[in-house]
Amino acid sequence: MDIEIIEMAERKMKFLLRNSSPAMANALRRTLLSDLPKMAIHKVEFHLGPLTDDTGKEYESATPLFDEIIAHRLGMVPVPTDRDLFVPQDECVCGGEGCPNCTIEYFLNKSGPCTVYSGDLLPMTDPSHREAFKVKDEFIPIVELVNGQGINVIATAVMGTAKKHVKWQVCNGVGYKYLPRIAIDPKAASRDDVLECKDLCPRKVFDIEGGRLVVVDEHECSLCRTCVEHLRDGKGISVEGDDTCFLFKFETDGSYTAKEALDEAVRILRDEANEFVDQIENIGPESDLLPPEPEPEPPEEPEYQSEY
């Protein structure tokens, strides 16, 4: 399996998966969607009662939304994830209690009138990591406060995967198609019904050059075969999907860059494949897999036959 990058931005990528199979393409899609570990806010502690801000102004710890709605909104905020710095809580040396290796704590303290945004979450970490741990989208509205209202919370992010909850989902819009292969018969390229395909094609794959139909953007083809159905006898243009080559695209929520997400997905797939091979090799000879042979039943005692 080979990967050829076609477009790469910080949060989205388009690439070709060559020399592969539909099963492998689907495995990569599922890994990108649900197996990448990322940090997300999992616990939110609300301060209750009156609060005082830096100027001495008093306000009430109250918002127009229920606490659980605010906690849910905070959970969906993309938290940057560095796989070299963090481990899942259940694999951590702290035994799951929470420590700087498996959690990031954020402090949020605002008083109205204002709109509280995701960017108001301040990482409670040493100054060297503060910028790196700031949430990626700073303008996600969390709640609107009026005069006299305030919010004061400590939110804790831990690592998880989208198998458990969508807040741990890194990639979205993950999709692929068989790479389109379009061939125009040179003898038919100037035929009227073939030329009409330029305007018929909904994805604008064709153009006309020198009175002949040519393919200008093969990757755009959705394999709808509108052109082939329009042709006389269905001949002149052939459109096929290549089931060994796949055109992939996906986006990330910002917790990983697109490149990091693809690297991590390939690493996870490779580790799982190696583990599977190890397990197969450790099974032992085929005879171990068969159920034990039943003990032969003892021969029946011959019935006593009288000699008389």
Using CB under 5 A as the binding rule, whether residue 99 contacts Zn ion is answered as: yes
What string marks each residue from 68 to 97 as x (binds Zn ion by CB under 5 A) or -?
A: ------------------------x-x---
Considering Cα of 11, then 14, then 20, then 22, what sign does the dihedral take?
Answer: positive
Which of 85, 215 has the CB closer to Zn ion? 85
| CB 65, min distance to Zn ion, A | 31
> CB of residue 75 vs Zn ion: minimum separation in angstroms?
19
- Which whole-number Å values give the CA distances from 37 to 71, 113, 119, 168, in the listed order? 21, 37, 22, 7
CA distances from 62 to 33, 65, 66, 137, 143 (A): 37, 8, 9, 25, 11
Single-letter residue type at 252 = T
Structure-token match 């790479």, residue found: 179
| Number of residues counted as binding Zn ion (CB under 5 A) | 5
Among 79, 102, 143, 155, binds Zn ion (CB under 5 A): 102
For residues 102 and 151, which CB has a smaller minimum distance to Zn ion in the complex? 102
Asked if 101 is part of the footprint of Zn ion (rule: CB under 5 A), the reply reads yes
The 8-class DSSP code of residue 262 comes to H
Measured from the CB atom, the residue of 102 and 153 that comes closer to Zn ion is 102
Which of 98, 119 has the CB closer to Zn ion? 98
- The DSSP element (H or E) to which 31 belongs, if any, is helix 22-34
Shortest Å distance, C-beta 252 to Zn ion? 25
3-state secondary structure of 67: helix
Rule CB under 5 A: say whether 158 interacts with Zn ion: no
Cα–Cα distance measured from residue 119 to residue 137, given in angstroms and rounded to the nearest whole number = 7
Q: Which is nearer to Zn ion, 43 or 212 (CB)?
A: 43
Q: Which is nearer to Zn ion, 102 or 205 (CB)?
A: 102
Residues in the chain: 308
Does residue number 157 form part of the binding site for Zn ion (CB under 5 A)? no
Residues of this chain that interact with Zn ion (CB under 5 A) are 92, 94, 99, 101-102
